[in-house]
Structure 1
Amino acid sequence: MALLLSLVTFAQTGQQKKADKLFKNFSYAKAADVYHDLIEKNIDTTYTSKQLGDTYSFLRNPDSAVVYYKNAISQKNIEPIYYFKYAKALRGVENYDEAQIWLKKYNEISDSLKTELPLNDANFLENILSAKQVYFLNDVKVNSEFSDFGAYEYNGNIYFASSRDKGVLTKKTYGWNNEPFLDVYVTESITDSTVNHKNKLKGKVNSVFHDGPLTITNDGKTMYFSRNDFIKNKRGKDELGSTNLKIYKASLVDNEWTNVEELPFNSSYFSNGHPALNADNTKLYFTSDRPGGFGGSDIYYVVLGEDEAISEPVNAGNIINTQQNESFPFLNSEDILYFSSDGHLGLGLLDIFETKTDSNNNAIDVVNLGLPINSSKDDFSYFINSDNLTGYFASNRNGGVGSDDIYAFNKLPELIIAGTIVDTDTKEPIKDSKIVLVTPTGEELATAISDENGYYEIKVDRDNNYGLKLFKEGYIDLTSLISTRNLDKTVSKITENIELNPKVIETIQDAEFFPIYFDYNKSNIREDGSNELDRIVNYMMNKYPEMVIKIASYTDSRGSNKYNLKLSEDRAVSTFKYLVDHGVSPSRILGYKGYGEDNLTNNCDDSTKCSEDEHQKNRRTEFVIIRN
């Protein structure tokens, strides 16, 4: 019996050593199988749970990792780092409240190990979930049961990295996930479901190890790409025997990519990968875990000079890089940097972010792209075409075909209000006018200044109401009402040309015209409205005989948009007729227009239940003094 027990113990110890060796050699898929065996045999469950949690974390499987990390942290004297790992896994399964608890606990216990990983707060999640959708996903049929990512479109072709090659000629699999090594494939359509080995990139880019993703210069002659440290049939390794990533370049010769060369800033002792060119090809951005960074992996760039000169790598800075991992940089046609990160405030594991810059192109903030681009899983390898409307990204989110899948999207075009500001008398453009974009309640959102041609433009969101307040010394201030509701998705510009009236010597000191109100579904002038209109008539006829005004009429939100627009126009006509019938010259009323249910004075839209008094505030005609 003693001999039997010793043999069992030896076998168990040998099994654990086998699992640990597989783990150490990055063969996580095989290590997971052996660790599961140990769990079932109830062998050192605390240690094995920690290892299984780590294994599934490396396999980017938070659904499984969270189970074993939970087992691990329930044990006494567990290392605090597992609170942090458990919290990250919880984010990956969208359990944000629980993740916040364990992140706080980790920071409280581990003063020397404090992390900058942001806590998912309620405001962030609420803002993400309630944000107006800008991206819309399209059909993709190019994905396989394996890993597909890094879609990059150039000159009518779509290049991407895939591990789909499992044919008889494939001799190697990647121990990390037991999938074949990545190769670069090319197709003309993202909906092509027949991509196979015949679609592999022609030339010398693909090797027996990982190849891709890539970027191509504007002239189409040079490709930069990621590959394991392998060139001229020689495989490089670090001090632990691991093969890292490097960046290479290839030249297009007779329609094949050849003349593969290694870039000078590579090293066998750390990884460089995910190359991305800026718009004019003077900089090459990439991911690296080289020493001296802020976290696990950072975004860097090198300057590409004449005669193939390449500068030393420059870290993109701590606005972009965190203590965690940043990867997969991409720059669009306007040199806006997009990248993936698990260190900025996100929905789960890797999220995709957009960099905001100042006038000198220095990064000042990053913005999460939100749904549906990001999910609780890994979202990465963002690409957008030069039109800034269509593109691709990859994700291992639930519901995909393989371990990583390519997703295609179209993006709503940015919307601007633009126009020319001129003098109402001379029609000459007015330079340096100040234009302030405001909400219906008067909150300032943005400011623009007209150029020497009187031209201005200002970015706005769709499905909103705005005011444009205009200020220019020597001219009467003006407010113009703008609506971006119910626009076609292809509209990218609203033209609003504006005429400003010069100030006269005499100014109106005591003229303030108040709105008049209407009964529900009515356009006739009520008694309280006629009192205010009589007061306006008196001002215009007796006190300020040169005064010019504008009339704007509205409805509440009840009823269809089409009906409310007609009803508001009827109210504007009723108001105009009253003033004219009481002696005001039509030439002194610059315009009378109905705006339907736009520009509500409160939150009483179709989604909000409001009292009759609250709706009443929106059934109105307002008056704007244009010139005195």
Structure 2
Amino acid sequence: MRKYIRITILFIIAAQMAFAQEARKERADKNYGKFAYIKASELYERLVEKGYESQDLFARLADACYFNARYSEALLRYEKMLSYDTKVRPVYYYRYAQCLKAEGEYEKAEQALTEFYTLIGQPGRPEVSLTGQLADIEHFSGRYAIADAGINTEYADFGSAYRGKDKLIFASARDTGIFVQRTHVWNKQPFLKLYEADINEDGKLENPVKLKGEVNRKFHQSTPIVTHDGKTMYFTRNNFLRGKYGKSENGTNHLKIYKATNNEGKWEDIEELPINDDEFSTAHPALDPDEKMLYFVSDRNGTRGKSDLFAAEIRPDGSFGPVLNLGDKINTRGRETFPFVSDSGILYFASDGHPGLGGLDVFAVHKDAFGNDRVINLGKPVNSPADDFGYVIDEAGKKGFFSSNRGEKTAFDNIYAFTENRPVSLVAELCGHVRDSITKEPLAGTQLTLYDENKKELKNFRTDASGNFCTEVVPYENYVLRSEKEEYQVHEEFVARLDHKEKRELLIELNREDIKVTTGDDLTTKLGLKPIYFDFDKHSIREISKIELGKVIEVMQQYPGIAIDVRSHTDSRGSDQYNMQLSENRARATMDYIINVGGIAPGRISGKGYGESQLVNDCSDGVKCSEEAHQLNRRSEFIILKM
């Protein structure tokens, strides 16, 4: 609720006792500098205590508690506010849900959030629906041109790695003719061997030959990674070294990572890495750009799903540091596999646990505008309903390769070449202007805090000398923007998802914590109350208007020195004489209500009717206007004559 009040008690009342313009000016000048400070929240609390109730009152009181982290108090008031039949702004369901969560009422909170996201046109959140997931993937689709790599066979070909800029090493079963369909750890297709092919000027492969040396043995060899100098290769093989076929205690032959050295074109001196174990699989190595960190896949103890991504430091002496799980941001209950790290440090991997198109999809981990890692689905056409994996890219040339079993009756894999036509972009801009709600003066130095939709803090910044701000955000996400400035009420704005490269402009008006009023002020612009209008051709007080009049009465009771002048107006329909009398009647009705109900001394309130002489729009005689436009003229204003 707002503590800064602007009174728009725009009654449509018309009857005010005449007073001299010069006398009023003289009194205003005499009392210049004499102020009163009205606390909005205290005003509304007193009104509720006296039996005044309205949806607006409870909304303002609830907000006052919410912005001060008094969630249990806010909860009660939001519940009262939502009990009315009248529609409210969607953001109130969001705040209501946050209060429910703070009180541990999670089921009700989910219901409130469901209502909120439906009202803002995002049904299915916060648990994003399948349709929503596919829409998110579509944002990053269409960025690639793909083609057959040129060396595929009727057998399995997959899992490639660069050796230099002009050669690619990959796994293939082309010389065996013996197959078993691949499973999630890729260890049931026997006799895979490592091959090397040239990369031609078109970015495709040609002249494939089997690697020489000790690297290819009678069981599986696959998924290599080669150091920049071309001298060392890490690769995956069944647990088999120097003629020994290793098994776990239950008799399973797992996968392990080995290291080979290039000696005059032959890959020899095969060594097993110390991160392996007979009891679980360790596979699919990848190196960071500095070649100081080895990434890999494993189903060892501590794995969250069927297989997770891990990393271990490669120390200067060649030993390895502790094995680290890459965490919940990357690893899921499904399969994470086939890591690759580009020259710029972007981690790519395949997963069937993150939202995708089906089977394994390729994902990338990008830093967003807040410095956080975000897992991005690369979209179509790299990804498909089939298994897509083994992504590698030469970022300088924007070309690369990936593997997929799409369109294959045998379900075996092929290698595809691609060109990246545009990179992943996570950029949008949230800009705006912060100003005083009454004076419209810019508010420099306003503290702004950006939260995600779960109220996790993302970024802090301030407005400039002109009250403006602009900050980068991540597109396709919802945010909450909080504005705080000394002597002003806290303000929060829910910001719905921005599109890619969108620049969203906000206008934020802050209300003062304490409202300063003095002689000559119009309470209709000071107290921020809802307008109150009279029915056509009537001067009786509406039931809803009594609540707004109660606010005026409370101010006058709190400050016995205040005297006000009621200025009442009509619309243009009817004769000038009739409207003048009607406005006088409305002014008198307003004055009588304040005197009789509020117990205000008659000498503290005066009034005058102005008829249709001071219209606020163009709805004059002979002009066709809507009922809503005419109603804007049926109003009352409250001017402070003295303090």
TM-score range for the pair, normalised by the shorter chain length: 0.3 to 0.5
Structure of greater Rg: 2
Higher normalized contact order (CA 8 Å, seq sep 6+, divided by chain length): 2
Tell me the TM-score normalised to structure 2 length.
0.44
Tell me the TM-score normalised to structure 1 length.
0.45
